[in-house]
Amino acid sequence: MFICVVGLIGSIILLLILLGHFLDRRRLPSDTADVALVFGTGLAWKAQTRWETAAHLFHRGMVHYIIVSGGVVVPGANMTEAEWFRVKLIERGAPPERILIEDRATNTAENAEFALPIIRQHRFKTVVLVMSDFEGIRAHLTAKRAWQGEGIEIYDYHAASRGHWSCWSWWLTGEGWHLTWYTVPRLFRYRLWKYLCLVG
């Protein structure tokens, strides 16, 4: 009986860890990608990890350009998320001419949709998505849906939510559960599951 209980607990923990890794999709191209797309957010800690991740990608030579997306005004900054991201990236040494602005989007679907004309204009074919780690697969599937048929190869290097969420241990904290169950229902609500078959 004891062995059965231990086995059951172990199986549940394994499933929770697998769910965390499923949500936190990560894949980088073997060569430098054309551009990184940074998704906007209304939370300061999410925003910081995203622009820091984008700066890391650029300075490591992993992307040639960065698209910053977000049309919501940042509280206390009097500028959109995209403009705020741009300022932060320039402060971190990214050349202004390599930062492209999409400043209309108010949600994840619009981030992908409104970035597409910029991607087309510059003939980008490889895009690295920069989203929070626990929202990784949602961002990937949203982009797959918005860019279907465009010939765009999508990669993922999502921002680590240190101190808030981890794919290994999210199930150990209340915040981890909250962030995970913020994401999972949206995969169903926004009908993203059917795009899983298109994930490379």
Q: What is the pLDDT of residues 113-138, one digit of tens each?
A: 999 999 999 999 999 999 999 999 99
Question: How many Å apart are CA 16 and CA 168, to the nearest integer?
Answer: 8
Residue 174 confidence (pLDDT) above 90 = yes
Half-sphere CA count of 26, side-chain side, radius 13 A: 12
Most distant CA atoms of the chain, gap in Å: 65
Find the helix or strand (DSSP H, E) in which 172 lies. none
The pLDDT value recorded for residue 5 is 67
Q: Would you tell me how many other CB atoms lie within 10 Å of the CB of residue 199?
A: 13
pLDDT at 56 over 60: yes
Q: Of 158, 35, 49, which is closest to residue 102 (Cα–Cα)? A: 35
CA distance 22 to 31: 24
**pLDDT confidence band for 194 (50 / 70 / 90):** confident
Domains and CATH numbers, the chain: 2-198 (3.40.50.620)
* pLDDT greater than 80 at residue 167: yes
Distance between CA atoms of residues 102 and 72, nearest Å: 11
Note if the pTM is more than 0.85: yes
Share of the chain above pLDDT 90, in %: 84
Please state, in angstroms and rounded to a whole number, the distance separating the CA atoms of residues 131 and 109. Answer: 13
